[in-house]
Each structure stands twice: as C-alpha cells, then as structure tokens.
Amino acid sequence: MSSQEVVSPFVKSSFSGGGSANECVEVAHTADGGRAVRDSKNRDGGLQFYAPEGWSAFLDGVKGGAFGG
C-alpha cells in the first residue's frame, strides 16, 4: 500500500453546518495512518497528504489554540 492511498471515506466536521453553502475541508485516513484532505467545494481539485506525525502536530496546534480559535 502507498502512504498516499486513501483507505476510508472522506468526512466533514459536524461543525461545518449543512446545506449547499458548506465551505470546508473533508478528511480521510491514508494507508500509513496519515490523512488526505480535500476541498468540499472542489472534490476533483486534488488532495493534500499529511504524514501521521504532521497530522498529529496540526491537531495539537488546533487544540492548543495556535490558529486563533
């Protein structure tokens, strides 16, 4: 398996709301335990891949308020 092989469905955060005006990202698991991310408005526009360590660091930053939220 490639580390860039998507092995789960893409999902959106429950905080993204509903309806057709959603402007958010969707995330899926990859074969190596990392994540693939895509734009929900442009699903065919390509994917960004994050290694497990990078994804974990990103989540730590979100939880720690590093992005102003």
- Residue 31: its pLDDT value, please? 96
Chain segment 48-59, per-residue pLDDT in tens? 999 999 999 999
Return the pLDDT at 22: 65
Nearest of 33, 26, 45, 27 to residue 3 by alpha carbon: 33
Which two three-digit tokens encode residue 31? 């074969």
Residue 49: per-residue pLDDT = 97
Residue 66 has a pLDDT of: 96
Tens digit of each residue's pLDDT (9 = 90 or more) over 1-50: 567 999 999 998 877 766 665 678 899 999 999 999 999 888 899 999 99
At 67, list the tokens: 């992005």
